[in-house]
Amino acid sequence: MSVASATPLVWMPADHRLLGETVHAQPYLILGDKYARAVKVGAQAQPVMFPLADASEVARLLALVDGVVLTGSPSNVHPRHFGEPVADPSLPLDEARDEVTLAVVRQALAEGVPLLGICRGFQEINVALGGSLHQAVHALPGYLDHREPKSAPLDEQYAPRHEVTLQPDSLLHRLARGAPSVRVNSLHGQGIRRLAPGLRAVAHAPDGLIEAVEFEQARAFALAVQWHPEWRCWEDALSSAIFEAFGQALRQRRARREAEARAFAAAPEFP
Ligand SMILES: N[C@@H](CCC(=O)NCCCC(=O)O)C(=O)O
């Protein structure tokens, strides 16, 4: 008998933000609409949040889902996670998010849970595995300014800004149908400095900055990009391909989890 699988579930860890006027500002746990929408439309999956999850709950919560998306965010990963002080205290941090996402990366990769990282999520994967970040790419001689024009309309902020060259024989290169390079948007101030052990750089900007990584020993989909494929992912061939491939990996895990649950239910009980 064939059994139709339920819609896969994707854990999307929350940002912690203060919203409201200064004296009345209150803490909120939030998820950007464009990320959730890309998971729903592009990967045909259901986004879920565990808003007050802490690191000690990560393993138990990962067992309930079919994949993870680590989203972008205006906040930076705290540089203490790669042994540095904060270079610019005016920039936002989100240590509560760091606590969860760094643990999620290690556990998800160890267990073969499909993982997609975007922008901050890309940086989190590198830091979680022992890599480090440049805290201000634009201040480095010879590097481009990878930040978005802050006062421009969103369409302009998310417009393709520079090329990335793709590494042959990578998943990303296959998803780009063998194109040697693609143009991508760019909305970040930080970037990978020391690549973490176990990660392979599979895309580079013209200034040499790493723009995409894959996990070398991946047991399932494990890709992260510094740009934003979630932005109207259905309008761009590579963005659509990334979310479709992630969706396929989610359905494979979903089918496996359901088969295990059926086998467990059918097993004889021993006293
Ligand atoms: N703060 C980091 C990460 C940049 C990032 O994820 N930007 C996305 C902002 C828009 C959004 O919320 O999606 C850096 O600057 O490098």
Q: Classify residue 271: in a domain, yes or no.
A: no
Confidence band for 3, pLDDT divided at 50, 70 and 90: low
Instruction: Determine if ligand 1 sits within 6 Å of the CB of residue 73.
Output: yes
Å from CA of 189 to ligand 1 middle: 8
Query: What local confidence, expressed as pLDDT, does residue 270 receive?
Result: 67
Mean pLDDT across the stretch 124-149?
98
Q: Which domain holds residue 54?
A: 9-261
What is the ipTM metric for this complex? 0.98
| Longest CA pairwise span in the chain (Å) | 70
- Best CA proximity match to 148, nearest among 137, 129, 136, 161: 161
Assigned domain for 176 exists: yes
Residue 231 lies in a domain: yes
> Has residue 159 been placed in a domain?
yes
Evaluate whether residue 63 is within a structural domain: yes
Q: How far is the CA of 113 from the centre of ligand 1 (A)?
A: 24
Report how far ligand 1's centroid is from the alpha carbon of 169 (Å): 28
Provide mean pLDDT across the span 86-92.
98
Proportion of the chain above pLDDT 70, given as a percent = 98
pLDDT-derived band of residue 190, with 50, 70 and 90 as boundaries? very high
In angstroms, the Cα distances linking 80 to 99, 118, 124, 126, 133 are 12, 21, 13, 14, 11
Is 266 domain-assigned?
no
5 pLDDT band (50/70/90 cuts)?
A: confident
229 lines ligand 1 (CB under 6 A): no
CA-proximal residue: ligand 1, atom 10 (nearest): 73
Select from 167, 158, 213 the least CA-distant residue to 188. Answer: 158
CA distance 192 to 104: 19
Q: Is the CB of 118 under 6 A from ligand 1?
A: no
Statement: residue 4 has pLDDT above 80? no
268 is a domain residue: no
Could you tell me if residue 4 is inside a domain? no
Closest CA to ligand 1's atom 3? 120
Give the DSSP per-residue string, 17-48: EEESSGGG-EEEEE--HHHHHIIIIIS--EEE
User: Confidence class of residue 271 from pLDDT cuts 50, 70 and 90?
Assistant: low
Residue to mutate, 120, 184, 186, 192, ligand 1, most ligand atoms under 8 Å from C-beta: 120
pLDDT (tens digit per residue) in 201-255? 999 999 999 999 999 999 999 999 999 999 999 999 999 999 999 999 999 999 9
User: Ligand 1, from 35, 186, 188, 193: best to mutate by most atoms within 8 Å of Cβ?
Assistant: 188
Q: Which pTM value belongs to this model? A: 0.96
Give the count of domains, the chain: 1
pLDDT at 268 over 90: no
pLDDT digits (tens, 9 = 90+) for 24-55: 999 999 999 999 999 999 999 999 999 999 99
d(CA 115, CA 48): 14
d(CA 267, CA 200): 42
Q: CATH code at 174?
A: 3.40.50.880
Partnered with residue 68 across adjacent β-strands are 11, 115
Rounded CA-CA distance 87/114 in Å is 33
Chain segment 95-106, per-residue pLDDT in tens: 999 999 999 999
What band does 269 get if pLDDT is binned at 50, 70 and 90? confident
Rounded-to-integer distance, Cα 182 and Cα 188, Å: 18
